Amino acid sequence: MRDSIEGISRRRLMAGAAILAAPAILPRRVFADEPVVDLHSPSGNSLRHISSAFPEKGPMIVHRTRPNWLEPRFEIFDKGVFTPNNQHYVSWHYQTFPTEVDPDKFTLAVRGHVEKPLTISMKDLLAMPRISLAAVSQCAGNSRLYFEPGVAGAPWANGSMANALWTGVPLRHVLDLAGIKPGAQVIRFAGADESPAEDTPRFMKSLSIDHARDGEVMLAFGINGEQLPLLNGFPLRLVVPGWVATYWIKALNDIEVLDQPDTNYWTVKGYRFPDVPDHTVAPGQTGYNLVSITKLFPRSFVTNLKDGDKVASGKPVYLRGIAFGGDCGVAKVELSLDGGQSWQAAKLGKDEGKYGFRRWESNLALPGTGAHAVSVRCTNSKGEAQPLKTTWNPQGYMRFNVETIKLTAA
Amino acid sequence: MIRTYALAAVLLMAGAAAQAGDLKTLKKINFDMPDDSAITFPAGPGEEAISGNCLACHSADHVMNQPPMDREHWHEVVEKMIKAYKAPITEEDAATIVDYLVRVKGKKE
């Protein structure tokens, strides 16, 4: 622990990040000269190192060194609606994927209940019909750090989300080449992140055949015009627009068509949350069913100011941020200064694709000096709006309530 | 029809992203991952048990960055590691690990 305390006295100051003395519980630092950021968790586990030691990544908040749980500082979301590849968050279940990958030796298996099992090379994939679309990848546990009481799991702040322009082959094309046999039920996906121990369940997820063949679900090899970073699934990952990122299998190398339901742990037991309105229960509550997380829900954030900022009084404050609709586009983004009793519309930026981030901005008149709570709400094109009630469930999944920041006008 | 239209829109976007569309080959990669051996659990009773059983699959910051939790919730976490993820932890070590977690990362009542 001594190392960490000594180290902290030397570390750099980070813009927008409060620097505190390390508490006794902070583990020893992995790397020299790393700054610490305070993520302001209500349950107290707020301090994280920021590290630039991960391949192809810039400075990332480290929630777990191995398997990697990394997210960017939130300020980066103010720079534009496409998240830079070197700031795209990272989340793995198992640190078993190879770190040396030759795309010329890569193969993707398409097998199971098909007419013609395939072994597809990267060269083959790069020669197939391709599409590009913008889509938000968001971890099911994004914002878990703000659950109160705190719950176990990846302790993400708000940054385990990213918008990218994905390029790849529509999954439908490959499935049709293999020919799905009558009687097929689901399609299961797995990657190079093998089980770390013999009996540990391999990480796999499934999609229905209709979903897998919708023409948008993609075998992606491109991200914002570049090959995928290793930590985001090089050389190939599944992209499931509008659905939570747990389905976006990284380092994808195995597609299996099943003629029966998928009973693997991660499909049947993992990634489930309460099947109740807004998926929100009270701590200790029982007597509800769990349901698999599937689609994303609408969310919106202020990105140019943060909670606790001071602004000049007597003139409108310029606010800007991002929103996404979930499995459809953004219809509107609104702001409230009275805890959600009344709302005023923000101006939406360019639509870069219904599954992506959408910029919003507003010149908001604050009623006088002092503290103001500014709430932001996204309503998607299906009419679904973020709820005011704070999301809470014991799994820490899918926070999507209206977010509020406090600004002080002086 | 609707699907065709949606695909046309997608393809238009693909045209706008000429760079992405031009990705013709992928480059071989070979990276080192950071060494996490210096991240250790705080010393004290049970440290050997938690280090010996848990570090095979994840670094210590996984544990240390969890919220403070009471004994019941730490017990649930250790049970999940054993039952869901099949971590080969003896009953005796599991009890020692729960005690350690409650001491180091317990919730103040």
Q: Are A341 and A229 in a shared domain?
A: no
Same domain, A181 and A260: yes
Residues A60 and A154 in one domain: no
Residues A131 and A250 in one domain: yes
A239 and A223 within one domain: yes
Hey, what domains does chain B have and what are their CATH numbers?
2-105 (1.10.760.10)
In this complex, which of A95, A104, A230 lies closest to B31 when CB atoms are compared? Answer: A230
Q: Are residues A110 and A239 in the same domain?
A: yes
Identify the residue among B31, B32, B70 best suited for mutation to test binding to A, counting A beta carbons within 10 A and taking the highest.
B31
Query: Does A96 reside within a domain?
Result: no
Q: Are residues A349 and A278 in the same domain?
A: no
Q: CATH no. for residue A320?
A: 2.60.40.650
Distance in Å, alpha carbon of A315 to nearest chain B alpha carbon: 39
Q: What is the ipTM of this complex?
A: 0.90
Residues A285 and A336 occupy one common structural domain: no
Q: How far is A321 from chain B (nearest CA, A)?
A: 23
If asked whether residues A115 and A21 sit together in one domain, one would say: no
Residues A133 and A31 in one domain: no
Q: Enumerate residues 6+ apart whose C-beta is below 8 A from A152.
A: A396, B66, B67, B69, B73, B76, B77
Is residue A84 domain-resident? yes
- Shared domain check, A318 and A244: no
A284 within a domain of the structure (yes/no): yes
- CATH code: domain of residue A182: 3.90.420.10
* pLDDT per residue of chain A (410 residues) written in tens, 0 to 9: 333 322 232 233 333 334 444 444 454 455 556 789 999 999 988 999 999 999 999 999 999 999 999 999 999 999 999 999 999 999 999 999 999 999 999 999 999 999 999 999 999 999 999 999 999 999 999 999 999 999 999 999 999 999 999 999 999 999 999 999 999 999 999 999 999 988 999 999 999 999 999 999 999 999 999 999 999 999 999 999 999 999 999 999 999 999 999 999 999 999 999 999 999 999 999 999 999 999 999 999 999 999 999 999 999 999 999 999 999 999 999 999 999 999 999 999 999 999 999 999 999 999 999 999 999 999 999 999 999 999 999 999 999 999 999 999 99
User: Is A121 within a domain?
Assistant: yes
Which residue from A28, A94, A270 is facing B38, i.e. has the nearest CB?
A: A28
Q: Is B1 near chain A, with CB under 8 Å?
A: no
Contact list, B13 vs chain A (CB under 8 Å) = 132-134, 165, 353
Whether A115 and A57 share a structural domain: no
Query: Does residue A111 sit within a domain?
Result: yes
> Of A66, A91, A116, which residue is a domain's last?
A91
Is A98 within the bounds of a domain? no
Residue in A41, A50, A66 to test binding to B, most B beta-carbons within 10 Å: A66
Asked if A167 and B17 come within 8 Å (Cβ–Cβ), the reply is yes
The answer to whether residue A58 sits within a structural domain is yes
Q: Of the candidates A245, A274, A292, which is a domain's last residue?
A: A292
Overall number of domains in chain A: 3
Q: Are A408 and A371 in contact (CB under 8 A)?
A: yes
Q: List the beta strands (DSSP E) in A209-316.
A: 218-223, 226-227, 237-239, 252-258, 272-274, 290-292, 299-302, 310-311
Between CA A72 and CA A66 the distance in angstroms is 17
Q: Is residue A97 part of a domain?
A: no
Name the residue range of residue A258's domain: 103-292
Q: A40-54 burial, b for 16+ CB within 10 Å, e for fewer?
A: ebebebbbbbbbebb
Domain-ending residue, one of A91, A111, A127? A91
Tell me how far CA of residue B82 lies from CA of A64, A94, A156, B54, B86, in angstroms.
20, 15, 24, 11, 5
Q: Tell whether B109 is within 8 A of chain A (Cβ).
A: no
